Amino acid sequence: MLSFEPVCLTRREEYLERWAKCPVKTSDYSFGNIFGWAEEYGLEWGFSATHVWLRQTRPRVVHWAPVGPWHAPAWSACPVLAGGAELTRIPEGLAELWTAAMPGRVEAREVREHFDYVYSVPELVELRGNRFHKKKNLLNQFVKTYRHDFSDLTPDCVEVTLDMQRQWYTWRDSENPGTLEAENRAIARVLQSWDRLGDRLFGGVLRVDGEVAAYTVAEALSDEMLVIHFEKGHPEFKGVYQAVNQMFLARYGKGFALVNREQDLGDEGLRKAKMSYNPVLFLKKFSVTVRPRT
């Protein structure tokens, strides 16, 4: 039996060794994501000889996908799944493997709100053509209107970034108080640990007249893809989101072909905003029920 314990920094390197062996890397399983949201979901992990098994304990116990090589195990004999299991955020490729390996035992349901949105880095940096005409106009308006500068998110500017995040949360809290409160806590957890996460995560800060107007927190998912975990901007400055998105990728996107901007979680406004940047693909995820082995 696996022994589960809360996700923490002390076993990060062990986790990353298994994570490196995953053939498809979705945003959910990046270390920045599971660490940031660990308290909100009550995330726990259990280490087997070859994989890390994740589960959330809030609002109820549900397993996530095992992190490690997908093709090596004999899934039909897997002791973790032998008694049956309910799992969420299962990447498409793993859901297909399980369906083939455990015929009659696996029920997989596509969950649109968990799909990762993936974009072309060059397209979001250059913003060429009619598809990006509105984005390019807003970026140009920001650049011409405001005295601004863009710099790295370093430990010495964490506090002012946290101050800006607290203000952003206050401005937006009435829209979806439960969800935004949880996100606010996750962001604070990551930023307050920046000195210990800075070798894995990276970010940028956009200032207007010396004050923080927007920031971005990101992480490399693979050699070709990075993921944007958090991106917030001051609503007073028109075009601030287009500016921080483009400036961040222009600086940090070099060497990456793709950028993952995570899920929309079923929020129609967020879905519309993410679609407006013209994703080039989706990383699909499934809810999976595995029936007990007989």
**What is the spatial distance between Cα 45 and Cα 50, in angstroms, rounded to a whole number?**
13
Q: Residue 261's closest CA among 241, 239, 282, 244? A: 282
CA 265 to the chain's CA centroid: 12
Identify whether 277 is part of a domain. Answer: no
Average pLDDT of the chain to the nearest whole number: 95
Whether 123 and 184 map to the same domain: the answer is: yes
- Distant-in-sequence, close-in-space partners of 59: CB < 8 Å, separation ≥ 6: none
Q: Please tell me the pTM assigned to this model.
A: 0.95
**What is the spatial distance between Cα 54 and Cα 42, in angstroms, rounded to a whole number?**
10
Identify whether 231 is part of a domain. Answer: yes
The answer to whether the CB of 245 falls within 8 A of the CB of 183 is no
Residue owning tokens 């984005």: 135
Mean pLDDT is lowest, of 55-69, 149-163, 176-190, for 176-190
Identify whether 91 is part of a domain. Answer: yes
Q: What is the mean pLDDT of residues 248-260?
A: 97
What is the total residue count of the chain? 294
Q: 245 is in which domain, residue-wise?
A: 116-262
- Distant-in-sequence, close-in-space partners of 194: CB < 8 Å, separation ≥ 6: 153, 155, 158, 201
pLDDT band for 289, please (50, 70, 90 cuts).
very high
Whether 107 and 212 map to the same domain: the answer is: no
Of residues 294 and 43, the one with the higher pLDDT is 43
Whether 240 and 144 map to the same domain: the answer is: yes
Domain containing 60 — which CATH number? 3.40.630.30
pLDDT at 193 over 90: yes
The CA angle 84-89-91, to the nearest 5 degrees, is 95
**Which conformational region is residue 146 in: left (phi greater than 0), alpha (psi within -120 to 50 degrees), or beta?**
beta
**Amino acid residing at 257:** A
Q: What is the mean pLDDT of residues 141-170?
A: 96
Whether 173 and 55 map to the same domain: the answer is: no
Whether 134 and 244 map to the same domain: the answer is: yes
pLDDT tens readout for residues 160-174:
999 999 999 988 766
Per the DSSP assignment, residues forming a β-bridge with 201 are 219
Whether 251 and 224 map to the same domain: the answer is: yes
- Distant-in-sequence, close-in-space partners of 200: CB < 8 Å, separation ≥ 6: 12, 31, 32, 219
pLDDT at 102 over 80: yes
Q: Residue 206's closest CA among 278, 271, 256, 151? A: 151
pLDDT of residue 175: 67
Identify whether 204 is part of a domain. Answer: yes
Whether 85 and 121 map to the same domain: the answer is: no
pLDDT of residue 276: 97
The answer to whether the CB of 65 falls within 8 A of the CB of 91 is yes
How many independent structural domains does the chain possess?
A: 2
Instruction: Record the tokens describing residue 263, joined without a space.
Output: 């899920």
pLDDT of residue 199: 87
pLDDT at 177 over 70: no
The answer to whether the CB of 59 falls within 8 A of the CB of 13 is no
pLDDT of residue 294: 85
Instruction: Record the tokens describing residue 237, joined without a space.
Output: 């400055």
pLDDT band for 50, please (50, 70, 90 cuts).
very high
Instruction: Record the tokens describing residue 5, joined without a space.
Output: 């314990």
Residue owning tokens 């996700």: 7
| Cα end-to-end distance, the chain, whole Å | 19
